[in-house]
Each structure stands twice: as C-alpha cells, then as structure tokens.
Amino acid sequence: MTTPSAVLRDEDQPGRRAQPGDLGQTQNSHPALEASGITKSFSGVQALRGVSLVVARGEIVGLAGANGAGKSTLVNIITGVLPPDGGTVKVAGRDVRLNSVQDAQRSGIGTVRQELDLVPALSVAENIFLGDETRFTRFGVLDVASMRSAASALLARVGLGLLATELVASLSIGDRQLVAAARALRDAASVLILDEPTSSLSPFESQRLYDVIRRLSAAGVGVVFISHRLPEVAEICDRVVVMRDGLVAAEFPAERERMAEVVDVMVPGVTGATDRSRSADPGEVVLRLNGVAAAGKSSTDLTVRAGEIVGLFGLVGSGRSTIGRAVAGIVPLDSGTMALRGRPYAPKSPADGFRRGVAYLSEDRRGESVLPGLTVSENLALRLPQQTSRWGLVRFDRVRDLVRRSMTKFKIRASSPSTSIDTLSGGNQQKVLLARLLAEELSVLVLDEPTHGIDVSAKRELLRTLDQFTEQGLAVLMISSDVPELITSADRILVVRDGRVHEEFSWQDSDERTLMSAATGGTER
Amino acid sequence: MSEDTVTRSAGAGPEVSAQEPRRSTLLRLRERLSGLTVFLVFVLAVVWFASQSPTFLTVDNVRIILLQSSVLGVAAVGATMALIGGRLDISQGAVISVIGVLVATFSAGGMNPYLAIAISLAAGAALGAVNGLLSEAFVIPAFIATLGTALILRGAAQVYTQGQSVALGSEGAEVWRALGLGRVGPVPVSVVIMVIVFGVAWFVMRRTAWGMRTYAVGSSARASRVAGVRVRRHRIQLFVAAGALSALAGVLLAARLGSGAPNNGQGAEFDIFAAVVLGGTSLFGGRGGIPRTFLGIVFLATLSNGLVITNVSSFYQGIVTGTVLLGALALDRLRARSVNDDE
C-alpha cells in the first residue's frame, strides 16, 4: 500500500557510510555487510523475492516485520544456515560463499541467536571455541592456557567480567547471551547478527546488552538487530528496515515517533470486507480464567462464551500459547483458577481436558498433532474408539462412516482414507486433525495458529467449518498472529503481551495497526 | 491430450495433491516388497533345505520347527507390542528364566500346577509393571531400565538356586507332561498355545481401541498425549503385557525341559528381537505387526533347524542368522528414510 518495495542500494545509505569516492581505497571503506538480490523459495513458495540489505561499518540496523515476512529466512541465509537461490553476500567488500554456519563465522559474520546454542556442561572458554579448538592444538594436544586467555580477551570485549573456566550451566541467561556474543566475535567479526537477543532477558540485562552493542558499533562492527519489540529497536538502532512478503518494504530512521509508521508497513492497512453469517449474540460463559499463570508467564484473566470465537493475538514469545496449553491441561498452572460452565476446572493432563469437553489443536503440527506413518483414517479416528467401541472393540463400520462424513464435511482431499497422512498437504492434514477433535461433543476448542502454513483455500474452508460449529454453541479460543484472519472470524480479540491479556477489542474496533501496536507496545511511552 | 487433462484436474486442488496418490502407492509398494523380501528369502531357504535333505519337509520336522518356535514366539508377541508402542524390553530372557525357576519351585513344593502357572503369569505381569514404572514414572530409558531388572532377576535366580536347575514336582505331573510334550491331534500343545497367543494379539492390536492407541503412541507420543491418550499408562500396560507373555514363555520352557534353571532363556531377548525385526516391525515405533513376527520367528527356527539337518556346523548358525538380520535391518532403515525423506 504505502512505500514501493525499495531495494536498498548504496546510494540510499545515510551519513556514516563511506562516500562513493572512497570505494576501493581501503578495506575500511566498504560496508560491513552487503547482501544484494537475495531470493529463496521453499517448495514453490517465494519466501524472499530479491532482498538487499546494506549495513555500514559501525551502523546498527533494526530488521522488523510481522511473522512470515521473511526476516528469519534472510537471517538464515546471511548466517549460512540456508543456501540462497540467488543473490550475493559481501562482507567488508569481499564476496563470500556461505555453505555453512562455520563459513559465515569465518567470513566475519557473527551470530547471536534467540535460542541459546551454548553447551551447558562445557566451560565458557570451551563454548566460545567449540568447533574451532584446532587453532589451539599442537600435535592434537589442546593448549588450554592460550585458549583461556583468548577467551578472556573476547569476554573483555563484551564487558563480561567472569572467568573463562566457569561452566556455562552456572551462568545467568543474560551472561549466557553475552558469552554467545563473545563467541560470535571470535573470528574478528565485521558484522554481528542478533536474532531476538533480548526475548528472554530482563530489562536490566537488555540494557547491558545494548551497552555492548553500542561499544562494538563504536569499534566499527556493523550490527543487524532483529526484534519484535519496536521501542527496543527505536532505542538501540540507527535505522529500521521493514520487511513484508519477502521484500524490503520500507526503511525509517530509528526514532520513537516513527514506530507507528513501521507498524503501518509491517501490516498493510485496510481489512478485507467481513462477511459474517454467524449471529452475534453469544451464550453463557463457558470458560473462565482467573489470574492464570503458567510456565513462568505472568497471570491473566479471560472468559469465552458459548457460540463465540475469542481471538488471542500476540507476538511469538508473548505467552499466548501458554494460555492455550494451560487450558488444555498440557502445562500445569503456577497459580490461578479456571472454571468450566461455572464448575472448577483443573485438568491434570490433556486426557483430563477431553473428558470435560476441552480440546486443543497444537501449533506444532508435525510434532504434536500428526501421527506420522499412520493413515488418514487412523489419524482421524484416534480419539474415536473411546466413543464407539463396546468392550474396547473398534466398530469399524462406524469408523468408516465417520471418516467418510468428515472427509466430505471438512473437504479433506486425500486419495483414500487409507492413504498415509504424510502424503497430505499441510492444509489437508490440519483438516484431518480438526475433524479428529470435532468428532466428539466439545465445550471448548482451543486452536493454536490453526491456519499457519496452509494455503488460502484450505484456510477459508477450515474457518468456515469452524464457524458452523461455533454457531452450534461451541466456545472457541483462537490463538493467531494472522490479523486479517482474527478480524474476520473472531468476535473479540484479546492482545497478549508478556503473558498477560493487555487489551481487548471487539472485531469491529480492530484493525491491524491497533492490534500490532498493542502487541508490540509500540504506542506506549 | 490425456496429459492435458491430468494437469488441469491437478490444478483444481492444491498443487501437491497431484503427486499424492502416486507417491503413496510407491511407498506402499516398497513397504509391501520389503515384507515380501523376507518372505521370499524364507521360501528360498525352505526350498534349499528341502533339496539338501529328504527329512526336512516331513511332518515330524515341521512339528519340531514349530515346537522350537513356540517358546520364543510367545515372548516375541510381547516384544512386538512393546516395540510398536515405542518401547524396548530387553529383560524378557531374564523373566523367562526367573519364571521357570519360580514355577518349578512351586511345583517341587507340591503346588497345584494350575495355581502355580497362574501365580507365575501374575508374577511376570508384576515384573513388567516394575519395568514400566522404571521407564515411564522414573523416566529411565527403557533399554537401561530393563537391562537393570534383567541383571537383578538373573542374579536373584542364580543366588536362589545356587546355579542348579530345579526339577518340576510330581504333583500334577500329567499337566506338565501335556504342556511340554502333549499334542492336540498332530499339533503340540505349546504350538497351539503359541498360535492362540498370536491370534489374540493380532485381534487386540488390530481390532481394539487399545491396539490402535498402541500404534498411535509409538508413532508420536507427543501427538498422542495432546490428543488425550494417557501415554505413560499405556506404555506401562505394554510392559505388563510383555512381562506376562515372557512368563508364559518361561512356563512353557520349564514344562518342556521338566525343570527351571537360571541359565534357561539366556540371550533369548536377542533371538526375540532378531525375529521381530526380521518380521519388519520398526524399532522406532508405530509400524509393524503381529503376523510379521510370526513369520520372523518361524524363519529363524527354520534356519537353525535346516542348518542342523543339512549337517552345517552349528558354529555357522550365528553367522547366517546375523547376516539375515542385518539385511532386514538395512531394509528397515531404507524404509524409514524413504518415509521421512522430505525432511
């Protein structure tokens, strides 16, 4: 809608970058990182459509974008995790071919990832030089002393005053993050990629990390900083590059006042027309959460009524899934209470939840939903035996009947019920899984990213079926990061941030800007 | 022109769907074929042995092969169920010997044979429950948990018997004789029992909710749990079934030998796994079947019988069995890879 997808060229760079006339004089005059025309597709889906990103020496560039915009793919390519389909990467003016993470590291691209990939059982020094110990070996024997002193030098660079011999297991999360940064710097990195580095840090620890980033930037290291939290991006970065649909959609100076515009670009403006067949008056309250806290996330209240779809919107890591998983009995509550149709509800396991009529569809389709290697019919009828068998015997006539009906009703496209589930597309797998849950009488259905990674037509069919069941009195809690989907299907949308429902919007009052602002804290002081 | 129609009809659905049927039939065919490979090798072995020895394909020798299969066969049913549910029980050989000693001790003490058998089966089930608790409640990897119980059990049997075998008593001797040596028509009683066990197990695995859930749990424990299956409890039940069936095997062996001894059933777990894997049950859970194990167990008994009957030195037995087993395992890995090859 707004800015045309500008490809960032050298000429567009702000001040600090070396002037064109300087090019080629010294190595220092080159940008720290220069990725141009990067393309990548996954099984036919174009994830990156010619992305260019230039980071000058000493510059801190924020990379923003909604889930699925292509940020992770770009980072994975720059850090050697994935090979690009096309495009080039230059580090300090030199072309680099990145076939592995090691390649990237040796070429001067250091990475600090969201999930800490340190080995807890090894010491700080051993972690920093893991995979590269040979530089300290003579005739295969490790020179421990020189490895330690090299590690200490790197620790000093990130301002971490601890012994290189300490075990990583004994460090705080914040210290570990800095150890990861020290490791990223070990091969004289010209550019440092930080992928959601603060997602598990306390505000104090984040500040400490910012100090380190600023210090490195002052020393000439180019930094790419990826974060969902826009205030943080505004604080630490010089410039924000916003991605959308596999392209660089816009860029802004990283100023607090401009963050609203960033949100505008992240999620394009107007919502599609909503055609709602469902009647808008929900029934009694079916599910009530009072101060529910689980998995270390702070406590929250919420209610879901019969015949109502309540959307739960939040960014990855906001704790929205934890709420759903607590309702389903997968994670135990730390504190708080739940009530189902006015009666206390404290499921000890998913099986407990099902007995009370609460079902959950996981966002992790491969890991937590599909039974790989088994047939469509076996996947669909997994829960059915509990209903249809007498003396534990499976009534195959009824199973066949159910499977046939479900395949029609949910529009499952499979060559036959005895096809292996592995051969189905994601959308059809998801329909099978939804049919599995809706085969029995439910009070509450919790859906976690139900349409993630499935094609548009399957998505529409899935949501339509869901609408029908809701019309009949089902209470639905739908966790999603897909704003248009929430606005078209949910009655109310709750925005979750830091494990807590922060704001509630009716679907009429929701638009993507409002939700995204509430979720990122972008509008807050 | 016909190509045109294919493309167009494929365009209607999501793009992958065009390849789905073809790919799945290919997979299925491969799966069938690998089952068939073992069967073909089995037939070839039978033909070879029959051509080498006129006594091989006689009623008496077939009876011997089946009789040799019966003890391990019964135990292998338990192993198959546990493996389909994603669990490995290597204490089966030890349970066989301990229960043999137990039932012989009871009998020697003058206990009614039916009561002795009932208590022994219950004891086997209880040992299975211990394995199950160690593996599921204490979350000790099943391999280690059952290795530990196996060492303890065999040691206990040795301590108790001082390494001697315990003869069955005279009380109810006719029951023991019938169980060990008797026949129903031309078929030995223990073979009848084995066939019944296979039949019941096949029924349970393919026709009951419990059996279906066993496949589900083995295919993906996490997905099964989220779908409301009580995974731990189910796996404990699998260990109980494996323990009870090992106990039945121990009773049959004691009846055949007329005694129980701490060294009976030594290494039986390896023959059992060889048979189960040969049949094509996956070591990774979720795939396999009871009839396949029957084929595996009869195949192994046929191999060892045939080698004896054709005067091949018994020293070669291990080499032949091992080679056949590795061939089967290689097939299993290939198949597992072909299923997961889009990862």
For B18-37, write each residue's pLDDT tens digit.
334 444 565 555 555 555 67
CB nearest to B226's CB, from A350, A372, A381:
A350
User: A313 by DSSP, 3-state: which?
Assistant: strand
A97-108 average pLDDT score: 84
Last residue in a domain, options A136, A169, A187? A187
Euclidean distance between CA atoms A404 and A435, whole angstroms: 11
Do A209 and A157 share a structural domain? Answer: no
Do A194 and A183 share a structural domain? Answer: no
DSSP annotation string for B295-336: HHHHHHHHHHHHHHHTT--GGGHHHHHHHHHHHHHHHHHHHH
Do A87 and A19 share a structural domain? Answer: yes
Q: Is the pLDDT of residue A188 over 80?
A: no
- In a domain, residue A362? The reply is no
Euclidean distance between CA atoms A333 and A347, whole angstroms: 9
* HSE, side-chain direction, 13 A CA sphere, residue B114: 0
Q: How many domains does chain A have?
A: 4
Q: How many domains does chain B have?
A: 1
- In a domain, residue A114? The reply is no
Min CA distance, B339 vs chain A (Å)?
Answer: 8
CATH number reported for the structural domain that contains residue A454 in this entry: 3.40.50.300
A303-330 average pLDDT score: 89
**Residue span of the structural domain in which A462 resides:** 273-357+441-525
- In a domain, residue B42? The reply is yes
For B295-312, write each residue's pLDDT tens digit.
999 999 999 999 999 888
Query: Which one, of B86, B223, B211, lies nearest residue A350 by Cα?
Result: B223
- In a domain, residue B277? The reply is yes
Q: Is the pLDDT of residue A58 over 90?
A: yes
Euclidean distance between CA atoms A77 and A98, whole angstroms: 8
Identify the bridge partners of residue A193 per DSSP, sorted by sequence position: A111, A224
CATH number reported for the structural domain that contains residue B131 in this entry: 1.10.3470
Do A86 and A35 share a structural domain? Answer: yes
Do A8 and A103 share a structural domain? Answer: yes
| Contact assessment for residue B305 and residue B65, using Cβ atoms and an 8 Å cutoff | yes
Which segment of A44-48, A80-84, A453-457, B145-149 scores lowest on mean pLDDT?
Answer: A453-457
- In a domain, residue A397? The reply is yes
- In a domain, residue A301? The reply is yes
Min CA distance, B14 vs chain A (Å)?
Answer: 8
- In a domain, residue A511? The reply is yes
pLDDT at A271 (0 to 100): 39
Phi/psi of residue A141, nearest 5 degrees: -100, 130
Last residue in a domain, options A143, A170, A187? A187
User: A390 by DSSP, 3-state: which?
Assistant: coil
ipTM of the complex: 0.78
- In a domain, residue B17? The reply is no
- In a domain, residue B126? The reply is yes
For B222-231, write each residue's pLDDT tens digit.
999 998 899 9
Q: Is the pLDDT of residue A501 over 90?
A: no
Alpha-helical segments (H) within B85-226: 92-108, 113-132, 142-161, 173-181, 189-207, 209-219, 221-226
- In a domain, residue A364? The reply is no
Confidence of residue B328 (pLDDT cuts 50, 70, 90): low
CA dihedral (B6, B12, B16, B20) positive or negative = negative
Do A125 and A102 share a structural domain? Answer: no
**Residue span of the structural domain in which B92 resides:** 37-49+57-337
Pairing of strands A239-244, A247-253: antiparallel
| Residue A15: both structure tokens together | 């001040």
DSSP annotation string for A154-181: HHHHTT--S-TTSBGGGS-HHHHHHHHH
- In a domain, residue B32? The reply is no
Do A129 and A70 share a structural domain? Answer: no
Min CA distance, B55 vs chain A (Å)?
Answer: 44
For B117-160, write each residue's pLDDT tens digit.
999 999 999 999 999 999 999 999 999 999 999 999 999 999 99
Euclidean distance between CA atoms A164 and B317, whole angstroms: 57
Strands in chain B per DSSP E: 166-167, 183-184, 187-188, 259-260
Q: Is the pLDDT of residue A386 over 80?
A: no
- In a domain, residue B258? The reply is yes
pLDDT at B30 (0 to 100): 58
Query: Which one, of A79, A81, A183, lies nearest residue A122 by Cα?
Result: A183
User: A95 by DSSP, 3-state: which?
Assistant: strand
| Contact assessment for residue A350 and residue A368, using Cβ atoms and an 8 Å cutoff | no
| pTM (global) more than 0.90 | no
Choose from A368, A423, A436, A455 for mutation: most chain B CBs within 10 A: A423
Euclidean distance between CA atoms B131 and B299, whole angstroms: 29
Q: In this prediction, what percent of chain A has a pLDDT beyond 90?
A: 34
pLDDT at A263 (0 to 100): 80
| Contact assessment for residue B156 and residue B167, using Cβ atoms and an 8 Å cutoff | no
A366-390 average pLDDT score: 83
Euclidean distance between CA atoms B188 and B285, whole angstroms: 33
- In a domain, residue B342? The reply is no
- In a domain, residue A431? The reply is yes
For chain B, what is the mean pLDDT? 86
**Residues of A in Cβ contact (< 8 Å) with B209:** 385-386, 389, 392-394
- Is there a contact between A372 and B210 if contact means CB atoms under 8 Å apart? no
Output the 3-class SS for A240-278.
EEEEECCEEEEEEECCHHHHHHHHHHHCCCCCCCCCCCC
Do A312 and A212 share a structural domain? Answer: no
Last residue in a domain, options A222, A247, A268? A268
A73-87 average pLDDT score: 89
Do A382 and A349 share a structural domain? Answer: no
For B192-218, write each residue's pLDDT tens digit.
999 999 999 999 998 888 998 999 999
Query: Which of the listed ranges A113-117, A411-415, B114-118, B325-329 does the model predict with the highest average pLDDT?
Result: B114-118
Min CA distance, B161 vs chain A (Å)?
Answer: 42
With CA atoms as reference, the chain A residue closest to B282 would be A373
B320-328 average pLDDT score: 82
| Contact assessment for residue A461 and residue A406, using Cβ atoms and an 8 Å cutoff | no
Euclidean distance between CA atoms A424 and A379, whole angstroms: 12
A43: left (phi over 0), alpha (psi -120 to 50) or beta: left
Do A464 and A351 share a structural domain? Answer: yes
CB nearest to A424's CB, from B20, B223, B230:
B20
Q: What is Dmax (Cα atoms) for chain B?
A: 84
| Contact assessment for residue A374 and residue A338, using Cβ atoms and an 8 Å cutoff | no
Do A9 and A97 share a structural domain? Answer: yes
- In a domain, residue B4? The reply is no
Place of tokens 């008496």: B60
pLDDT at B28 (0 to 100): 58
Do A199 and A98 share a structural domain? Answer: yes
- In a domain, residue A367? The reply is no
